[in-house]
Amino acid sequence: MVYIFQQALNALQLGSIYALIALGYTMVYGILTMINFAHGDLFMIGAFFCFLIAVYLHLSFVPTLLLSMLGVAFLGVIIERLAYKPLRNAPRVSAIITALGVGLFLENFTLALSPYPQHIPPLLENTTWTLGTLSISSLQILVIVLSLVLMLLLDFIVQRTKAGMAMRAISWDKTIVPLMGVPVNKIISLTFAIGTGLGGSAGMMYGLAYPVIDPYMGIMVGWKAFISAVIGGIGNIRGAMIGGFILGAVEIMVAAFFPSTYRDFVAFTLLLILLIVRPYGILGKPQPQKV
Amino acid sequence: MPLLEISGLTHRFAGLCAVSDFNFIIDPHELVGIIGPNGAGKTTVFNLITGVYKATAGSIKLAGRDLVGQTPHTITRSGIARTFQNIRLFRELSVLDNVRIAHYGRMAYTPVEALLHIGRFRAEEKRITDLTLDLLSMFKLDDMANEKAKNLPYGLQRRLEIARALATGPKLLLLDEPAAGMNPNEIIQLMEFIGWIRQTFSVTIILIEHQMRLVMGICERLVVLDFGATIAAGLCAEIQNNPKVMEAYLGVEVAQ
């Protein structure tokens, strides 16, 4: 029983990181019907920003979090402007190839500057409470609570504010939104800023939970988050959150009961099965093809 | 001063001249129709006015200010709104949100105010929701405010689209085939409805339409387009007997 509770806690921690990253994929897809394959690498940049700020500026946890989120958000907006915007009316494949290229650029740029893995200094005093055989760390609680707060904030922005209303409208019909007096480019920039900023915050939390960071850390985590977004129904924000927690839970459960090398194999199998049974994801809606 | 003044407007798509040397003037509170066979370039004119397409040549002036080269959202904010030939609602959003979004340019609060729930955020959101509900009740759509737009019957979707256009606060309303898919009875109701809109919101209207009964019944003047060129312009009675117009619609032999 205690064992299961312990694993559930681990699942929540991993799941909330996947969910935060998955939101970036799903938001960009919702608004531009494009997969930003550089998103996993922006997650990695978030961890590196956190490292740089913590090591060179010696800031504490909250300013480090805010600065690395802002930095990644800014980078996300620049990438959209320079790399994706010129391709907005090009075939989707061109934009996706460009995104893969941007991802490779970010990895190799970081590799050039930091060829060796880095250690993020502990920004918080990590206390571990032990209840019998159950151990809960303050970091674990922090990651889960912070992710939930960020997700609630996002949900509020999307459902309750004018910018969120504009995002939802753009995801249904991009061409007529400007005719409602909405500056579409600004909303797209904002979407990128929020999506990549959340990815950056996930990078920092991941870096604190598993303190060794390297330029390739975003690849596998990025794929997993992408799977989460697809499981939840890509383009659907609440779906991405649910998908992240499902994948986190599946991975932890597999690692708990089987050899841990089965983990990724099971994660990708789950994606394949889901794509066969429910190609539009858990909260996604089937798009009937009109003939 | 005329409300809208278009001169020498030309638009080419890859060799095809969709609109050529289009000249048009409309004064405040007028209702003018643009008619012409399919593919004559009528909707292209609307797309040029609203900035969806950028004109190859010519000028479009709203109350003296040139609109060519401005983005669609600034043109909308300067007072031009439109509806679409094939209804273009945000199908998955509620009726309320479909109209609320048209107030976007006039919602005055900053992201910080929204996130912290302070300042103008609550008051502004409430003001816009109230304005929207008022408008919906004028259009008898208020009891469906929370319904998804796609669930409305066809006639109500048309009405909602007009309500949404009016919510942007236009001086000039462009209606693109509002009678499409309506039976003769509904067309008579639509004529009264357009008259009511014109009075209530004191808007100037340009109407694209195929239904002769409708245009002849409510427009003061007409412009006839064929293959992108203006072939006639004038009062309804003059247009009705114009041989060029009959030729464009019915073919040469019949007209003779």
For residue range A53-99, list pLDDT tens digits in order: 999 998 888 999 999 999 999 999 999 999 999 998 888 889 999 99
What is the C-alpha to C-alpha distance for residues B90 and A165, in angstroms, rounded to an integer? 11
- Chain B interface includes A159 (CB < 8 A): no
- Chain B interface includes A166 (CB < 8 A): yes
Q: Which residues of A touch B168 (CB under 8 A)?
A: 180-181
Is a pLDDT exceeding 60 seen at residue A290? Answer: no
Q: Residue window 167-196, chain A: list those with CB within 8 Å of chain B.
A: 168-169, 172-173, 175-184
State both tokens at A172: 């249904």
Give the mean pLDDT of A109-129: 87
CB B111 within 8 A of CB A166: no
- Chain A interface includes B168 (CB < 8 A): yes
Average pLDDT, chain A: 90
- Chain A interface includes B54 (CB < 8 A): no
Q: Does the distance separating the beta carbons of B93 and A179 come in below 8 Å? A: no
For residue range B140-174, list pLDDT tens digits in order: 998 999 999 999 998 899 999 999 999 999 999 99
What is the C-alpha to C-alpha distance for residues B218 and A197, in angstroms, rounded to an integer? 54
- Reported ipTM: 0.86
Is a pLDDT exceeding 60 seen at residue B210? Answer: yes
User: Is the pTM for the entire model greater than 0.80?
Assistant: yes
What is the set of domains in chain A, with CATH numbers?
A: 2-277 (1.10.3470)
What is the C-alpha to C-alpha distance for residues B158 and B84, in angstroms, rounded to an integer? 9
Which 3-state string (H, E, C) describes B81-123? EECCCCCCCCCCCEHHHHHHHHHHHHCCCCHHHHHHCCCCHHH
* Between B50 and B107, residue with greater pLDDT: B50
pLDDT for residue B217: 87
CA terminus-to-terminus distance, chain B? 41
Q: Which residues of A touch B90 (CB under 8 A)?
A: 168-169, 172-173
Give the mean pLDDT of B2-16: 90
For residue range A25-61, list pLDDT tens digits in order: 999 998 888 899 999 999 999 999 999 999 999 888 8
For residue range B20-76, list pLDDT tens digits in order: 999 999 999 999 999 988 888 899 999 999 999 999 999 999 998 999 989 999 999
pLDDT for residue B241: 82
- Chain A interface includes B163 (CB < 8 A): no
The sign of the torsion formed by the CA atoms of A104, A192, A167, A87 equals: negative
Among B50, B82, B107, whose Cβ lies nearest the Cβ of A162?
B107
DSSP calls for chain B: --SEEEEEEEEEETTEEEEEEEEEEE-TT-EEEEE-STTSSHHHHHHHHTTSS--SEEEEEETTEE-TT--HHHHHHTTEEE--SS----TTSBHHHHHHGGGGGG----HHHHHHT-TTHHHHHHHHHHHHHHHHHHTT-GGGTTSBGGGS-HHHHHHHHHHHHHHT--SEEEEE-TTTT--HHHHHHHHHHHHHHHHHTT-EEEEE-S-HHHHHHH-SEEEEEETTEEEEEEEHHHHHT-HHHHHHHH-HHHH-
Give the mean pLDDT of A170-189: 91
Task: Select from A180, A182, A280, A290 the residue whose CB has the most chain B CBs within 10 Å, as the one to mutate to test that interface.
Answer: A180
pLDDT for residue A258: 85
CB B77 within 8 A of CB B45: no
Is a pLDDT exceeding 80 seen at residue A128? Answer: yes
Give the mean pLDDT of B196-216: 90
Task: Select from B49, B73, B125, B148 the residue whose CB has the most chain A CBs within 10 Å, as the one to mutate to test that interface.
Answer: B73
The model's confidence at residue B183, banded by pLDDT at 50, 70 and 90, is: confident
pLDDT for residue B256: 53
pLDDT for residue A289: 57
For residue A166, what is the nearest residue in chain B, using CA coordinates? B101
pLDDT for residue B40: 86
What is the C-alpha to C-alpha distance for residues B141 and B152, in angstroms, rounded to an integer? 10
Q: Does the distance separating the beta carbons of B111 and A163 come in below 8 Å? A: yes
Nearest Cα residue to A241 out of A1, A16, A10: A16
Average pLDDT, chain B: 89
Is a pLDDT exceeding 60 seen at residue B137? Answer: yes
Give the mean pLDDT of A201-226: 92
Nearest Cα residue to A180 out of B164, B69, B63, B147: B164
The model's confidence at residue A291, banded by pLDDT at 50, 70 and 90, is: low
Beta bridge partners of B24: B6
Q: Does the distance separating the beta carbons of B101 and A166 come in below 8 Å? A: yes
Give the mean pLDDT of B90-119: 84
